[in-house]
Amino acid sequence: MGDEQGVKNEALEIIAMAQLLPRLVVFDLDYTLWPFYCECRSKREMPKLYPHAKGILSALKAKGVDVAIASRSPTPDIANTFLVKLGIKSMFVAREIFSSWTHKTDHFQKISQRTRIPYNQMLFFDDENRNIEAVSKMGVTSILVRNGVNLGALRQGLAKCAQNGRKTD
C-alpha cells in the first residue's frame, strides 16, 4: 500500500487501536522521512518522502497528535526548503534542524521547552541507533527505522508507548 490516502486510513486504524497515544511524535529527517542526506542534495531538486511518511503524518495530525522534527543537519536551509516543497512544513509544531556535535538530546531539550511536553509523553523515530540510545535515556520512547518510517514502525512505536506508559503508572 503506497498511496497516501490508503496509508493514512491504515495509520488511523493503528492509532485508533493504540492503548496510549503519545502527545508528540518526533521524526528525524534524513533516512527517516526521506531517503537521502540533505547535504548531498540541491535546493533546486524536488525531494520525495518514503512511501508511508506523508500518510502517517496526516493520520497523526487528524487524531490530534502533534508532530515535530529533530534533525542533525549541516544544511538546515535545504531541509526547510524540502519541507516547503513537500507541503508538510506547517504540520510540525517544532522544527529543530541544526548541526549538533552532541547527540539529539539538544534537539529534544529545545522541543520540550517549546512544546512543554515531557519526554515520557514523546515518541521518536530515527535511523541511527546512537540517537535512539541517547534519546531513550531521556525517557523518550524511541524506535529505530531501517528503511524510513512506515506503518510497521508506527505500530511498534505505539505499542512501546503503551508498555512504557504502564511502567510509569
Q: Do residues 105 and 26 lie in contact, with contact meaning Cβ atoms separated by under 8 Å? A: no
Q: How far from the centroid of its chain's Cα atoms is residue 144's Cα?
A: 11
Q: Under 8 Å CB-to-CB from 23, ≥6 apart: which residues? A: 65, 66, 117, 121, 122
3 is annotated as an active-site residue: no
106 part of the active site: no
Cell of 110: 529545545
Q: Which of 3, 28, 66, 169 is catalytic?
A: 28
Cell numbers describing residue 108: 529534544
Of 30, 66, 126, 127, catalytic: 30
Residues labelled catalytic: 28, 30
